[in-house]
């Protein structure tokens, strides 16, 4: 018997478990044999405060103090550069303004990233305050906090049935039955199916595939100090990683919830777009993978009790913002669950509430 059962062992579930465990008996259920298996282990792991819509950006900003202090700090310097071809001036200027980037001369951009092509680079924008997120350190920090306060974490516990009787949830998972007064749905791509098992109307959370390839740095450059590179209209992005480059075609293909994998053609097209801006070709791919970024219809997170069943709490729709919003999102969820006055603005809380879809 728990006060609260959390379904989902990614960044959303672990972070809210850490917030709730000092105050309640918490059990977290993860379907896979390890935590953070799906979207949380396949993230680009970058903190961009001006990324996402206005609601997401507010959560980004509210998360900064925690991310700078958690486990000694999980943010490391990276920077961001937006690059565009000579015929992309209008789109470049619009997106550079949206990200708060300062335009720099193409020659200065090439000094920072010598792989960029003199012939193809028409415009570049840069900002320093974009950071790598040590996603594993953040996940483990939340896990340690949760378990230090008595939270029970069960892996290999796929939920197969949910019933509510006499004011209690009964959750069948991994051959066991767990009982709780409150159910937190932090199931990522599976958030709507989990709601369906509990007899709750779906919100319309849709998973979208995002693929990634790891490649040796073309031209043999040392890319360790390079910024995150983003193509205009997000037709690709690239980031240094362990001596190589991660390159994504930045696709958003809707898919059912699943253990996602990269599509070879989508990757090839994305790498070709990346090559267009570079002075050396991609010679080979070291590895590739894909993750699912799950969005609500308005691309803002969903945080709050279901209006038809207050004992069912949504913490879903993180999209590509799960890590960078995790501190503020989990704090808001805990405040609402524990009936405390939220630290966030009341209007922002309303924009995150599931009642906006009902």
Domain extents in the chain: 2-70+134-205+297-357, 80-127+206-293
| DSSP per-residue letters across 247-262 | EE----EE--SS----
Flag whether pLDDT at 318 surpasses 90: yes
Q: Binning pLDDT at 50, 70 and 90, where does residue 17 land?
A: very high
Residue 132, token pair as written in the block: 């790598």
Based on the number of CB atoms within 10 Å of its own CB, is 203 exposed (0-12), middle (13-18) or buried (19 or more)? buried
Nearest 5 degrees, angle CA 337-CA 25-CA 143? 90
Q: What confidence category does residue 126 fall into, taking pLDDT thresholds of 50, 70 and 90?
A: very high
CATH number of 80-127+206-293, picked from 3.90.1530.10, 3.40.50.620, 3.30.9.10, 1.10.1270.20: 3.30.9.10
Distances (CA, A) of 109 to 78, 153, 293, 305: 15, 47, 30, 47
Q: How confident is the model at residue 44 (pLDDT cuts 50, 70, 90)?
A: confident
Q: What are 176-210's pLDDT values in tens digits?
A: 999 999 999 999 999 999 999 999 999 999 999 99
CATH topology (fold) of 2-70+134-205+297-357: FAD/NAD(P)-binding domain (3.50.50)
Beta bridge partners of residue 180, listed in sequence order? 2, 169
- Band (pLDDT 50/70/90 cuts) for residue 146 is very high
To the question of pTM greater than 0.85 for the whole model, the response is yes
pLDDT over 70, % of the chain? 100
* Closest listed residue to residue 325, CA positions, set 51, 19, 81, 17: 51
Q: Are 185 and 195 in contact (CB under 8 A)?
A: yes
* Average pLDDT of the residues of the chain: 96
Average pLDDT, stretch 140-159? Answer: 97
DSSP per-residue letters across 298-315: TSS-EEEE-SS-TTEEEE
Other beta carbons within 10 angstroms of residue 342's beta carbon come to: 17
Q: How far apart are CA 89 and CA 153, in angstroms?
A: 51
Residues 171 and 177: their CA atoms lie apart, in Å, by: 5
More confident of the two residues 129 and 358: 129
């Amino acid at each position: 018997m728990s006060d609260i059962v959390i379904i989902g062992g990614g960044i959303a579930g672990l972070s809210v478990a850490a917030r709730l465990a000092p105050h309640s008996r918490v059990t977290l259920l993860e379907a896979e044999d390890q935590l953070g298996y799906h979207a949380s282990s396949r993230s680009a792991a970058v903190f961009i405060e001006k990324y996402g819509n206005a609601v997401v950006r507010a959560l980004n900003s509210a998360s900064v103090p925690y991310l700078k202090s958690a486990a000694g700090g999980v943010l490391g310097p990276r920077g961001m550069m937006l690059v565009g071809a000579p015929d992309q001036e209008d789109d470049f200027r619009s997106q550079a303004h949206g990200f708060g980037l300062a335009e720099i001369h193409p020659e200065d951009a090439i000094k920072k990233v010598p792989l960029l092509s003199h012939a193809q680079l028409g415009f570049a924008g840069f900002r320093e305050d974009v950071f790598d997120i040590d996603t594993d350190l953040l996940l483990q920090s939340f896990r340690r906090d949760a378990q230090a306060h008595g939270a029970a974490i069960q892996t290999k516990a796929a939920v197969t049935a949910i019933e509510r009787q006499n004011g209690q949830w009964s959750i069948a998972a991994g051959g066991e039955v767990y009982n709780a007064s409150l159910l937190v749905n932090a199931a990522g791509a599976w958030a709507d199916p989990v709601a369906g098992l509990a007899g709750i109307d779906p919100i319309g959370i849709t998973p979208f595939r995002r693929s990634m390839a790891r490649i040796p740095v073309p031209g043999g450059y040392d890319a360790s100090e390079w910024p995150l590179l983003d193509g205009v209209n997000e037709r690709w992005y690239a980031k240094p990683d362990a001596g190589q480059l991660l390159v994504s075609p930045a696709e958003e293909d809707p898919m059912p919830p699943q253990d996602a994998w990269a599509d070879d053609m989508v990757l090839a097209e994305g790498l070709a777009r990346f090559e267009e801006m570079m002075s050396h070709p991609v010679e080979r791919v070291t590895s590739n993978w894909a993750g699912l970024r799950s969005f609500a219809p308005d691309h803002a997170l969903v945080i709050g009790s279901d209006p038809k069943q207050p004992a069912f709490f949504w913490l879903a729709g993180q999209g590509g913002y799960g890590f960078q919003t995790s501190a503020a999102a989990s704090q808001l969820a805990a405040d609402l669950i524990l009936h405390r006055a939220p630290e966030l603005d009341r209007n922002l809380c309303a924009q995150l509430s599931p009642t906006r879809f009902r």
